[in-house]
Each structure stands twice: as structure tokens, then as C-alpha cells.
Chains A and B, each alone.
Chain A
Amino acid sequence: MELLPTIWFIAIAVLWTGYLFLEGFDLGVGMLMKIFARNNTERRVLLNTVGPVWDGNEVWLLTAGGATFAAFPLWYASLFSALYLPLLVVLVALIFRAVAFEYRGKVDTDRWRARWDWAIALGSFFAAFGVGAALALTTTGLPLNANGDREGGPFAWFSGYAVLGGVAVVGFSLVHALAFLALKTDGEVRHRARAWFVRLLPVLILPIAAWALSIQFLDGKPWTWALVVLAVAAAATAWVLARAGAEGRAFLALGAFLVLGTASIFGAVFPVVLPSTLDTAFDLTISNASSSDYTLGLMTIVAAFGLPLVIAYQAWTYWVFRRRVSTDSIPEAHSFLPAIAVKAFTTKG
């Protein structure tokens, strides 16, 4: 067993878990803009619960990608090139979503806001779906040849697992966002979010549970089976806590569900990082896909102080913006007339 590649397998699992935990709720909040919020003020409440933090959350994705490139270049190269079109969809979704957060309030008309609301909702949906599909496929396999290249054309990646993974992350993001909103908002939005959470949790976590279970049937080990059982228990706890009105603890319990669930999935597939569905001899594993020990050692040292630091200052951000947002705390839309109303470039000086 190689120590450094194992450490980096765990590190990448941690990064993906961090991504799903943090961006999970802001992707979910994005989707809820269209299906939960009832009017513009409510949409702004939703938006402002994640306003200061969503960009920092998204960096977990970039770091997961960058760390995969650095630690397992062959995994990164095969996975990203094989999933060319789905990742293109993810990229376009993330672009529109990011720009929409910033630009939505910059012009004070309903038409402008409606467009960017769709950009946020659809961007969040497709990003969640695409990331879920990619993660599911890296655990269940892609048709890769000996060089690690995809065989069978642009859609050869498609399988039931892609859909399952996509739906799994979408479902989890939605339920996670409801827990987050119950914790971060006040008034009517808070109560509705908690009610939706209690009602929808059993349904929305089904696909992610199904993914975790199917991986256990494929590659499960006793301890990863145990993690699945604990994950389900954590979800049940979250449900009970939310019913009892303990929003903070319900949110944490759902987070524990995610951590245990992803641990069960990554643990089950270890040490394979990307199986080939054509021939198990072509599987990418932590030993044949990794960088040299020198590079991994260097990265370990940097990550050992870098990652805790990131967690510390991101936690501080959540502390700074810890207060609940309600419809009362949303200021009026800032509409302004141009100081310079006349078009300077068409008038003769």
C-alpha cells in the first residue's frame, strides 16, 4: 500500500465532500429560487443567505479539480476528456450562475431579474446534475482503452449511473438547501423551509442513498457498509430534529449524512479511482494514475497547513454573517438615474 497516493485519495475525497457540503446548499438555494420563493423579496432573501459565501464554496470544486490534476494526472486527464460534453454543460451552467448572482440586482426591471433568476436556477440544476453524473461515473466506470481514452464516441459515457448520480446530487442539494434556509432565514421563509424539509427529505435523499448502496453491492467492504447504515441513521436523525424545530442540529445531521455517504462511496471503490468498463486491466488506480512521491510529498506539506487555514477562515466568514435573513432585512432595490443622461458620444460638443 502506497502511503502518499492513499493520503491524496483521501484528500480528494475530502475536497469533493467539502464541495458537496458547501456548494450543495448554494446550488440547492439556486434551484429553489424558482420552485420555493414566491416573490422577488423572497428570492432576494434566498440569494442573500448565500451571497457572501457562494464563491468561496465554489472554489472547493476548483481545488478538487486542481488537486486531481496534480496528484493523479492520469485520472484527471481520462475523466475530464471522457466526459467532455457533460463537463461543457457544467462549465456553461457555472458561468451563467456566477454572473447571475452578481448581475441580477444591477438593473431594476422585472424582465432583467426574471432572466437572471432562470440563469441561477437552471445553472444550479445543470451544475449539480453534471457534477453528480461525473462523480457517479468515476466510481462506476467509463469505457476507457489502454491509454485511458474514451472509446465509443461523444456519448459513450452515458449510463444509468450517470442519471442516478445526477439526480442524487440534485436531490441532496435541494434538501440540504432547505435545511440551510431553515437555519439562515427568519419568518415565513424559515417556517416554510422547515416544513418542506420534513416533508421532502425522505424522497430527496433516496437517489443518493441508492447510489451509495449500489456501490456497496459492486465493491462494498464491511466498514463501508457500516458507513451506509450510519448515514441513513444520520438522515433519520436530521428528520427527527427538524420536526422538533432544532434547525441547526438538523442541518449538521444532514451534513453528517453526506460525509458518511461519500466516505462509504469513496471507501468502497478504493484503491480504484476510475474503472474501465472495457477491461479491468485498464482501471486507473491510486498506484498507476498518481504523481511521483516527490510531488505528492510537496503537496502534502502545503495542504497540511493550507487546508485547515481555508477551513478556519471560511468558518469565520459564516460566523461574521451568522444572522438570519428575513424579508424585513432586504433593502429596497437600488434604482438610480444616470448622472449623465445625455449620450455623450452622439451629441456634438
Chain B
Amino acid sequence: MDALEIARWQFGITTVYHFMMVPLTIGLGLVVAVIQTAWHRTGKPEYLRMTKFWGKLFLINFIMGVATGIVQEFQFGMAWSEYSRFVGDVFGAPLALEALLAFFVESTFLGLWIFGWKQLKPGIHLACLWVAVIGSVFSAYFIIVANSWMQHPVGVEMIDGRPVMTDAWAVFTNNTALVAVPHTIFGALAVAGGFLLGIAWYHLWRRRRDGIDTTGADGKVIPGESTTIPGRDRADHSVWIRSLRIGAVVAMISFAGTALTGDLQGKLMFEQQPMKMAAAEAACHDGTGFSVLSIGNIGSQNCDDIVAVIEVPGILSFLAKGDFTTEVKGVNTLLPEYKENYGTHLPDNPIYGERAGQEIEYLPVMEVTYWGFRMMIGFGGLAALAAVVALWLTRKGTVPESPWLMRLAVFGILAPFGANAAGWIFTEMGRQPFVVAPNPDPSGIDQVFMFTAAAVSPGVSAGELMASLVTLTAVYAVLLVVEVKLLVKYIRGGVVSAMPELAHVPADENEDETPGSGGPGGAKPADDVLAFAY
């Protein structure tokens, strides 16, 4: 591998990894904020328990997103200095604004939330979480504005060979970003939905298995209490069944949201990056049919031997244009157009290193785009379907006794993560060979583009890049094991893992009647220096 390939692997690995943590942070943050709001309004103890439990898992995950996020910002300059020089005038601004207007808000107000349970009035404390969560949504907006500019450059003029921002409004309201942001937020909520569903299912299943919850003649649940294990009382049952239902509803809504926004995004992409979408379809010839399964030696980059095994006529046109008859351009039509517009060979410029003068491969790696696109939709759809089934199966207040269904629910947590990763891999690899894709709108800025081959740092050796690739991959692998281990420990601990006070209260039956003990009305800024301590 040469420097460029190593740098690309590194960016891919670190980004996909970072984006395991980020959707869970955004999605779970929103859910926890809603639950704490419910507690604030009703004072019901199960909402407090849910806030504490899901909040704890949220924090274990949040810190990994923070830690791996710094790598992302530094990486542009370290490994992609030519890219940074070329796009800095327009691309740097959303990054700087993300730090100034979103990261500060997120980190500061989350610190207040974690440590301020007693120092802040309940309403202020809740507001801090909302501010932090909204900060994370803003952070998603800014970084997607930056990414969307790479997908669809707008608001610039070429001056002295570099794109210079002339219209910030156009950059910050790029239509690519306006559909990608809600798509990403819904994708994040899908992750949170699956997370709640799987874990709550596990706890309900375990309560039945341990004989705490039983079912009556009508199949309805009869919640019980464990005399030996603290925290496994009737309120505990409410915690899990509510969590499960919230998770399922969130999963269904977010799938609908991703489908709608994804459809808009697809229609834009057929205009903005037709080659990406043709490659997503393995569509060699112009046509109207959507391929359900295509086989062939597609890695050969030769379109002739691809056979569409199952194809639904009209659907491709619908995805692209909203009707069933418009012919959508295939790879064989697009290739000559790209060659005519952007050249057949990389220019003889030292910026391209050894690749100077090489022929340009305009077709992205089709296995990746074709299957990435289908995995995104498939995993997303599966998770939503599972949510519907889960709601039905738990309509009588608990889960079936089957251990296999429980395992399915737990492993189902991974499906939305897979959908998110597949979607990003598809859209980033589908943009190749460009790092900044040309904008084919009749806006006159279609000469603003950059080949990935020109973007890497010329002064950085392959050895340095390899050192960082190996180091970061190893560090990330170790930390993934640690994070998952801790999550599992806290999940198995149940609510009491996040609420030590539950272990010291012998019975909390009275908790149901007197929310004052821990309810929002009763909590005052206390004298304790530390409401929470590391």
C-alpha cells in the first residue's frame, strides 16, 4: 500500500469507528432528555430510574465519541494537508463553528448534568441536558454541512486555483446537507431505539426466567418483586416495559424518517453524483428497473458481465425521479460524460505523486456501493420490522419466555449500527475518485472538484501513516473491548448499577406513593459538595 491507500484506510477505519459512538450519543441523548422531562413532569420513580440507567450507558458511550472525535479534526491537517489547503477557505469554517458553537455547549453542559444533580435546581438540571443534547444535534449539522460540501460544492468561486467562499448562506443551506442532516438524526434515533428495545427485552426476559414476573390466565403480566436482589421490584418492571415500548416506537418512527429523507437524498444524488447511484445499482445500461440481486464479476470494473438476476421494472426511475418511466443513465452512458468533463488521465502534476498521468477510474468499487446501499436499507428495515413484532409480542406487558427471541432482540441492537456504517461507507466510497465531487448543477462552479489522489499530505511518508494506522486501530480495538465490557457490566447490573441508593433502601414500595423522597419536587440544591464523584 502506498501513502494514499494507507491514509484512506485510516480515515475509513477511524470514521466508521467514531460513527459507532456518535449515533448512540445523539439518539440516546435525545431519548434520555425526553425521559428526564417525563420524570420532571410526573415525578414517577420509574422515569427517574430510566433517566439514571440509560444516562449511565449514554455517558459510557459518550466519552468514546469525544475521544475519537479529536482524531477526526486533526487528521485533515495531518494526513490530508493538500486537501486542507485546497478547501480550507470554505471547509474550515463549519469545523471551527462546530467546535465553537456545538462542542463547547455539549461538553460544558454535560459536565453540569453529570455532576449537578444536587447543585442545580431540577428544572435547570434538566435544561442542561437538553442544551447538551441540542448541542450534539448542532454538531451533526455542522459536520454534515462540511461533508455535504465535499459531495456537492456550492457557494464558492475559483480564485487562484482554490475555491473561495462567496456565499455562506449557500454553503450552510446546501440542499445536500438539508436532507442529510435529518437522515443522520433519524439514523441515530434508530440506533437508540434498537438499543433500548434489546436491553429492555433482556431484562424483562430475565425477570420472567427468575420467577419475579409471572403471567395470569389471560396472558397478562403479573409483576412481582425479588426479595434477594435490590432494585428488582415492581417499579423495575415498569422501567423495562416502558423502555421497551419507547425503544420500539422510536425505532419505527426513525425508520420512517430515514426512508423519507433517504428517498429525497437519493433523488438529489441521481442529479448530483449520477455515477454513485449508477454504481449503487450496478446499473450498466440505461433503464428503469431496480436490481434486487445482480451477480457478475463486478470487481472487474467491466460492466459487460453483470447480470441482473431479479429486477423490478420502474422502481429505479421512481427512486431517481418519482415516476416509473424515465430512463436512468447507466454506467456505460456516464463514463464517457465524466471523461469528457473531467479528463481521462490525472494531470502531470507533482501533487499526484506516482499517480500523475495515470488513467482515472470513474467507477467506484461496485461491490461496495451495490452492497453498501442494500445493507443500509436492509439492516434499517429489519430493525423496524423487529420493532413492530416486538410491540405485538409484548402487548400483554412482558416478553415471551423464549431465549432465542431474547438473543435475537439483543443482537438486533447491532442492525441499526450496521445500517449507519453501511450508509456512510456507501456514500463516501461512492464519491470516489473524487474527494470533492464536481457539482453538475448549471451553476458554473463545476470545475470545483478534487481527486482523492491529490489530497494526501505530500510531506508525510507511508511509514508515518502506517505507524498511525496501526496505532490507532490497535488503540481503538482495545477501547472497544473495554467499552463493551463496561456496557455489559452496567446493563447486567440493572438500574441499581446507576442508582446505588436503591441498594440501601430495603423496600421501595412506598416510593410509588411518595415521590417526594427522590422526586423532582423534593430535591433541593443540597449541601453535599459532590452529588456525583468519579
CB <8 Å contact, A99 and B457: no
Q: Max chain B CB contacts within 10 Å: which of A84, A149, A154?
A: A84
CB <8 Å contact, A102 and B95: no
Pick the contact of B479: A85, A95, A151 (CB < 8 A). Answer: A95
CB <8 Å contact, B81 and A77: yes
List chain B residues, Cβ under 8 A from A339: 206, 229, 231-232, 492-497
Q: Looking at chain A's contact residues, is the secondary structure mostly helix, strand, loop, or mixed?
A: helix
List chain A residues, Cβ under 8 A from B90: 295
- Could you tell me the distance in whole angstroms from the C-beta of B30 to the nearest C-beta in chain A? 20
Total CB contacts across the A-B interface at under 8 A: 295
Complex Cα gap A321–B528 (Å): 11
CB <8 Å contact, B534 and A44: yes
Interface residues on A, range: 35 or more
CB <8 Å contact, B533 and A69: no
CB <8 Å contact, B494 and A74: no
List chain B residues, Cβ under 8 A from A154: 461, 463-464
Known: A102-B63, A329-B529, A331-B533. A87 touches B100 (CB 8 A): no
Known: A51-B115, A73-B85, A76-B88. A81 touches B460 (CB 8 A): yes
Among listed B162-170, B252-260, B299-307, B336-344, interface-contacting one: B162-170
Known: A66-B95, A76-B84, A107-B489. A336 touches B89 (CB 8 A): no
Closest-by-CB residue of A relative to B474 is A92
Q: Looking at chain B's contact residues, is the secondary structure mostly helix, strand, loop, or mixed?
A: helix
Closest-by-CB residue of B relative to A79 is B77
Q: Mark B421-442, 1 if CB is under 8 A from A, else 0.
A: 0000000000000000000000
CB <8 Å contact, B529 and A324: yes
Complex Cα gap A200–B490 (Å): 43
Complex Cα gap A140–B114 (Å): 42
User: Is A190 interfacial (CB 8 A cutoff)?
Assistant: no
Among listed B102-110, B267-275, B283-291, B314-322, interface-contacting one: B102-110
- Could you tell me the distance in whole angstroms from the C-beta of A83 to the nearest C-beta in chain B? 8
User: Is A118 interfacial (CB 8 A cutoff)?
Assistant: no
Q: Give me the interface of B with A, judged by CB distance under 8 Å.
A: 59-60, 63-64, 66-71, 73-74, 76-79, 81-82, 84-85, 87-93, 95-101, 103-105, 107-112, 114-116, 119-120, 159, 164-166, 168, 202-203, 205-206, 209, 229, 231-232, 401-404, 406-407, 457-461, 463-465, 467-468, 471-472, 475, 479, 482, 486, 489-490, 492-497, 500, 503, 528-530, 533-534
Known: A63-B100, A292-B165, A336-B503. 12 other contacts (CB 8 A): A54-B111, A66-B95, A77-B84, A80-B74, A80-B78, A88-B471, A92-B471, A98-B66, A295-B89, A326-B529, A338-B497, A349-B402
**For the complex of A and B, 6 pairs with smallest distance between CB atoms:** A73-B88, A80-B77, A349-B403, A70-B92, A149-B459, A339-B494
Q: Give me the interface of A with B, judged by CB distance under 8 Å.
A: 44, 47-48, 51-56, 58-59, 61-63, 65-67, 69-74, 76-85, 87-88, 91-92, 94-96, 98-99, 101-107, 145, 147-151, 153-154, 291-292, 294-295, 298-299, 302-303, 306-307, 310, 313-314, 317, 320-321, 323-326, 329-331, 334, 336-340, 344-345, 348-349
